[in-house]
Structure 1
C-alpha cells in the first residue's frame, strides 16, 4: 500500500535533484565551495553561474513546457522512452550552447569540463534511450558524484565532506525513484555508474 508521505518525499527529492538542477548545483559548488575556483571575483562567479543556469535549467524547462503545449510531449514526467527523444535533443543543444559560452573564458576551464561531461551524459542517455529506459535522474546525480570524487582525488578541490553528503542524497534519490516505480534497480544503477564514470574520465583527461 502506497504511503502519501513517502510519495511526497519522493517527488520532493526528484524535483530538488532534477537533471535540470544538477548542472547548476555542480557549478555552484565549484564556484562557491572549497575548490581552486574559490578565489574567483564574486561578480564573475555570479555571471558564470547565471550563464550555466540559463542554458541548463531555464532554457530546457521553457523548451519542455513549449513542447508540452504543442502536444509533442504529452507527459511532463517523460515516462516513456519515445517522449524523451526530443527533450533530450533540445537539452543537448542547450548544453552545447553553454560550453560555447564558457569556451573562451579562461577562469571557467573547470566549468567547461564539467559541462562537457554533462553533455556526454546526455548523449549517452539519448543513445541508450533508443532501446532502453535508463534513469535520467541517476545519470545526472552520478555525474555530480563523479565530479566531486575526481576533483577531490586530483587535489583541485576539497569536496570529501560534500561528496559524503551527496552520496547519501543520491542514495535517497535512488530509493525514491524505485519506490515511485519510475525505474528498475538496473536502470538506476546503470545511470549512476555511467554518469560517475563519464564525469570522472572527462575531468581527469
Structure 2
C-alpha cells in the first residue's frame, strides 16, 4: 500500500465519520430499524449525527489550529489531542441528547453515547500514550455489529466479516502512514469494540 493510498483511506474512514457510517448501516439493514422511521425522520437523524459528530468537532479543531492551540490537523503530538477530543465528546453528548428527544429506536442514541464514552476514555489514555483513534472508530463499528444479534435477533455474519476486513485495511493504512505502532492500532480497536459492546449490552441500565 502506498502512502498516498494510506492517506486516502485514513481520510475516507476518519473516526469522526464512523458514527454517521454506523447509523447509515443501521438504517439500511433489513430490520425493524429500517421501517420504524419515515424517510423524513431518517434524514433528520442523519443530519443531527453528521453535524454533532463530524461537522462541529471538525470546525472546532480548525479553530484550535488557527489559534495555535493545536499544531496541525494530524495532531501528531498525543497531548495536543486532549482538548479537541473532549470538545468532540461534548458535541457527541449533545447529539445523544437530541436523539433522545426524537420518536426513534433508542439504539440510535445508544450508539452515539458509546462513541462519546470512547472518546473520553481515549483522551485520558492519550495523555500518556498515543492510541489510534481511527482504530477506535472502526472497533466501535465492529462492537455495534457484534451486539446486533443480541439486540434485534438478526444475522450479521457477513457485515461483521466485512468490518474485520475494513479494520485490517485501516490498520495497515495507519502503519504505512507512520502514524501508529501495531500496539497502538491493536489497542485502539480493542478499546473501541469493547466500549461499544459494553454500552449496548447494558444499555437497559441507562434508561
Same fold (TM over 0.5): yes
Out of 86, 90, 97, the residue aligned to residue 94 of structure 2 is 97
Contact 2:82-2:124 at 8 Å conserved across structures:
no
Whole-angstrom CA distance in 2 between matches of 1:36 and 1:48: 16
TM-score by length of 2: 0.92
* CA apart distance, 1:169: 1.1
User: Aligned partners of 1:77, 1:127: CA distance in 2, in Å?
Assistant: 18
Report what 2:171 is aligned to. Answer: 174
CA shift digits 1:152-199 (9 cap, x unpaired)? 344354433222212111111001111211111111111100110111
Consecutive unaligned residues in structure 2, runs of 5 or more: 203-207
Please name the residue that 2:141 is paired with. Answer: 144
In structure 2, what is the equivalent of residue 67 of structure 1? 64
In the other structure, the counterpart of 2:8 is 12
What is the alpha-carbon root mean square deviation over aligned residues? 1.4
Structure 2 residue matching 1:191: 3-state secondary structure: helix
- Rounded to whole Å, the distance in 2 between the matches of 1:137 and 1:71 is 24
Moved more, 29-38 or 165-174: 29-38
Q: Which runs of 5+ in 1 are unaligned?
A: none
Could you tell me which residue of structure 2 aligns to residue 28 of structure 1?
A: 24
| Equivalenced residues, count | 201
